[in-house]
């Protein structure tokens, strides 16, 4: 059952400036998406943090199961060959 | 050219700019009373942001008023050391917060007024006023989005929220008449291209309110004649209490800094 005494939770994503991607900045309560945008504007962009806001109902987010951390993420640990670290990089290349 | 063109040192322009600044200052002070008491943390910040915008507008306007007066009074002196009778805001701004619905109704009425007024003031022959209005109109547009969204939610919400919103509207509507009642000072400002005609502001405001009220399923109260003259310094009992709280620190510890 949804708790009617409290507004639903939304996750907030803010784009700091054009060209960057939206970053998760926090969450808030709002009765609907439009109010969530207003609240996000008031809570998370009052110090010029952004130029664009996304809000997503928190219940729409599907998260990985913390109890499965071992099987999901551990196996990647010893596969260092998946990192592109075995190349000789010429001195002339400054940024890669 | 009209001999009474308001300019630097003009008492008329000084008073007119104070009218604008005091409306924002008193409303901003009122709104800030919600800080720590709002129905939700999110609304606490929302209302505080609006209060800060309004106080920011008041700072610009009061600073300008002080320069026009030319007697060395700055924004702080004007805000914290004027008596009630020297405040020229329309008395709608000083009406109590009441419940959240009452605060929202007061906010919608004034936001829509400021929006229509500032949009026109941005074309004022007074460059400084035009610049302040052009900056403020962006803030006010958001204020009205916030307040009218809430009024629609409350009016078109539950039976209880509808009844409270309607009661607040009936209570506060009569005070709106003062906003649009043109007196000699308003006329002088219009004649010199400094301010827009208030009846033009009123018809635009009225159309805006009709649309918001229709969506809110609230009934527009009838206009009634009134005898309020906050714009001339005659205030309701409420302003004294607001100033007592707002001015306490400066009057007790003159020129205090932090």
Q: Among B49, B149, B153, whose Cβ lies nearest the Cβ of A42?
A: B49
Residue-wise pLDDT for A54-87, tens only, equals 999 999 999 999 999 888 888 888 888 887 777 7
Residue numbers in B near A31 (CB within 8 A): 153
Residue numbers in B near A42 (CB within 8 A): 42, 45-46, 49
What are B215-218's contacts with CB under 8 Å, separation 24+? B215/B152, B215/B155, B215/B156, B216/B151, B216/B152, B216/B154, B216/B155, B216/B156, B216/B165, B217/B155, B217/B156, B217/B162, B218/B151, B218/B155, B218/B162, B218/B165, B218/B166, B218/B169
Query: Which pLDDT score, from 0 to 100, does residue A19 have?
Result: 87
Query: Which pLDDT score, from 0 to 100, does residue A82 have?
Result: 82
Query: Which pLDDT score, from 0 to 100, does residue A96 have?
Result: 63
Query: Which pLDDT score, from 0 to 100, does residue B57 have?
Result: 98
Query: Which pLDDT score, from 0 to 100, does residue B1 have?
Result: 42
Whether pLDDT at A2 is above 90: no
Residue numbers in B near A39 (CB within 8 A): 42, 45-46
Domains of chain A: 9-82 (3.10.20.520)
Judged by CB atoms closer than 8 Å, whether chains meet at A43 and B149 is answered as no
SS3 A25: strand
Q: Is B46 in the A-facing interface, judged by CB distances under 8 Å?
A: yes
- By the 10 Å C-beta count (0-12 exposed, 13-18 middle, 19+ buried), B84 is classed as middle
Token reading at B123: 């074309």
Give A66 to chain B, closest Cα distance, Å. 30
Residue to test with chain B: of A42, A43, A47, A48, most B Cβ within 10 A: A42
Q: Is B100 in the A-facing interface, judged by CB distances under 8 Å?
A: no
Strand partners, A53: A14
Fold of B11-221+229-252: Ferritin (1.20.1260)
Query: Which pLDDT score, from 0 to 100, does residue B7 have?
Result: 59
Q: Model's pTM, two decimal places?
A: 0.89
Can you give the pLDDT of all 258 residues of chain B as single tens digits? 444 455 555 999 999 999 999 999 999 999 999 999 998 999 999 999 999 999 999 999 999 999 999 999 999 999 999 999 999 999 999 999 999 999 999 999 999 999 999 999 999 999 999 999 999 999 999 999 999 999 999 999 999 999 999 999 999 999 999 999 999 999 999 999 999 999 999 999 999 999 999 999 999 999 888 778 999 999 999 999 999 999 999 999 998 887
Judged by CB atoms closer than 8 Å, whether chains meet at A35 and B149 is answered as yes
């Amino acid at each position: 059952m949804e708790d009617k005494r409290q507004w639903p939770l939304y996750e907030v994503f803010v784009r700091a400036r054009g060209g960057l991607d939206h970053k998760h900045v926090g969450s808030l309560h709002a009765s609907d998406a439009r109010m969530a945008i207003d609240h996000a504007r008031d809570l998370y962009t009052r110090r010029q943090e952004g130029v664009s806001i996304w809000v997503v109902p928190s219940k729409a987010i599907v998260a990985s199961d913390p109890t499965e951390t071992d099987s999901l993420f551990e196996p990647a640990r010893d596969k260092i060959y998946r990192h592109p670290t075995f190349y000789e990089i010429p001195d002339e290349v400054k940024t890669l | 050219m009209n001999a009474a063109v308001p300019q630097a040192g003009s008492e008329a322009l000084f008073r007119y700019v104070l009218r604008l600044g005091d409306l924002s200052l008193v409303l901003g002070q009122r709104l800030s009373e919600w800080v720590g008491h709002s129905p939700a943390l999110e609304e606490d910040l929302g209302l505080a942001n609006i209060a800060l915008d309004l106080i920011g507008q008041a700072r610009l306007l009061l600073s300008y008023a002080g320069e026009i007066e030319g007697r060395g009074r700055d924004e702080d002196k004007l805000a914290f050391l004027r008596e009630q009778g020297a405040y020229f805001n329309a008395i709608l701004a000083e009406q109590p917060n009441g419940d959240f619905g009452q605060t929202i109704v007061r906010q919608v009425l004034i936001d829509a007024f400021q929006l229509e007024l500032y949009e026109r003031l941005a074309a004022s022959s007074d460059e400084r006023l035009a610049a302040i209005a052009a900056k403020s109109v962006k803030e006010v547009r958001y204020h009205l989005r916030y307040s009218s969204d809430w009024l629609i939610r409350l009016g078109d919400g539950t039976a209880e929220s509808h009844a409270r919103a309607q009661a607040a509207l009936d209570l506060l509507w009569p005070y709106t008449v003062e906003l649009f009642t043109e007196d000699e000072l308003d006329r002088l400002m219009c004649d010199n291209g400094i301010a827009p005609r208030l009846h033009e502001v009123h018809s635009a405001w009225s159309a805006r309110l009709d649309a918001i009220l229709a969506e809110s399923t609230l009934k527009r109260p009838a206009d009634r004649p009134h005898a309020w003259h906050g714009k001339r310094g005659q205030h309701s009992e409420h302003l004294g209490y607001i100033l007592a709280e707002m001015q306490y620190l400066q009057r007790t510890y003159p020129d205090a800094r932090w």
